[in-house]
Amino acid sequence: MAAIGYARVSTRDQNPDAQTDALTAAGCEKVFVEHASGVLAKRPALEDALDYLREGDSLVVTKLDRLGRSVRNLKEVADGLQQRGVGLKALSQGIDTTTPGGRLFFHMLAAIAEFEHDLIVERTHDGLAAARARGRKGGGRFKMTPTKAKQARAMYEEKTYTVQQIAETFGVSRGTIYRHLTEDH
């Protein structure tokens, strides 16, 4: 039943001492230190820490954001630990998943974060639907104005230019030219 620490700083310039000191003071017998951004998928020190942990051990971090790249990733790590019989402790948040209250608190935080994410997605979809209802389209600007599209069609119908030449003339892809040629006008 060992406490194993994991500390992460985003850059080589940052000093992990505050985290390692807190983890040592919390009784961690070994501390794995990562010098990498949390958004990176590959974190060798975390992988080493996870490999080192045995059933009954606890992974200890100073804050949850040191452990996961996102709420979803954090939940995946926590679920993986739980399946292996390993606890998770976050010192600054007072989370300890080895206790029923700690598990409840952690899952409530994860549920709230997931709910917030779902609300953002829903608002984004609603906003896009409202914009479409007002006649706005998403995406970038049109590469060809209606006038240029007519010119391209005329060049194509003359049969003296290839689609590639027409595309180069207007600075667009062949696909854009084909799309304008097949549109009903």
Cβ 6 vs Cβ 32: under 8 Å: yes
Name residue 173's amino acid.
S
| Parallel, antiparallel or unpaired: strands 30-35 and 3-9 | parallel
10 catalytic residue (yes or no) = yes
| Options 10, 37, 58, 92, the catalytic residue | 10
Computed on alpha carbons and rounded to an integer, the radius of gyration of the chain in Å comes to 28
Residue 8: helix, strand or coil by DSSP? strand
Q: From CA 88, how far away is CA 59, in angstroms rounded?
A: 5
Measured CA to CA in angstroms, residue 3 lies from 6, 37, 56, 143 at distances of 10, 24, 9, 59
Name residue 3's amino acid.
A
Q: From CA 76, how far away is CA 29, in angstroms rounded?
A: 25
Catalytic center residues: 10
